[in-house]
Chain A
Amino acid sequence: QVQLQESGPGLVKPSETLSLTCIVSGGSVSTGSYYWSWIRQPPGKGLEWIGYIYYSVNTNYSPSLRSRVTISVDTSKNQFSLKLSSVTAADTAVYYCVRVLSGGVVDSWGQGTLVTVSS
């Protein structure tokens, strides 16, 4: 059974870059069957898809975040990462790394990590 674990700073200053990593165990990020993705949830609000990486090189991002987002993968460490630049308080959220099946169903979630944007 695949397990995902997010890691990264819990506090980021406005205008800086948010960086998170997701360590994957029990599965390989190189597997072509899955889309390794990030989803976020502002406190008390709903879920927002950020983007995915597929086959280690193919990426797709939410149109609303595309200009600020980069998702990459490190196959040697079996992990994938999120970078979100020029953050504001609106980017404060719990960030989840997830595994998405080829059909677009999210079948596995990390526990989530709260990132607060504040000076």
Chain B
Amino acid sequence: EIVLTQSPATLSLSPGERATLSCRASQSISTYLAWYQQKPGQAPRLLIFDASNRATGIPARFSGSGSGTDFTLTISSLEPEDFAVYYCQQRSNWPPITFGQGTRLEIK
């Protein structure tokens, strides 16, 4: 099973700042990586698929990059509504679907 490791566990930033979240896979997954955002009390929401493609309706301030084992989610300028937990997910060798443990993005 492919293991995804996200870092940092918690990221404290202010609105307007740039956020960089990382996800590392235990083996190469090409670009078969997605990112999800989860706000308290809500289901996750798909942000990015295939490493760099924004899902429908996702603002341009969200971008994804990477391939192989190292991936990055970047939020160019944080809005108040962006503070949430972010999960990466691989589909290279599914089933099973596997998720990272999450990065909590909190207001500094």
Most chain A CB atoms below 10 A, which of B49, B87, B97: B97
Q: Which B residues are CB-close (under 8 A) to A63?
A: 1, 96
B54 within 8 A of A: no
Please tell me if the beta carbons of B32 and A110 are within 8 angstroms of each other in the complex: no
State the majority secondary structure of interface residues on A: strand
Which residue of A has the minimal Cβ distance to B99?
A47
Within 8 A of B (CB), among A24-64: 37, 39, 46-49, 51-52, 60, 62-63
Q: Which B residues are CB-close (under 8 A) to A37?
A: 97
Q: Which B residues are CB-close (under 8 A) to A100?
A: 97
Number of interface residues of B (CB under 8 A): 24
Chain A contact patch, size range = 20 to 34
Q: Which B residues are CB-close (under 8 A) to A107?
A: 46, 55
B15 within 8 A of A: no
B contacts, CB < 8 Å to A: 1, 32, 34, 36, 42-46, 49-50, 55, 87, 89, 91, 94-102
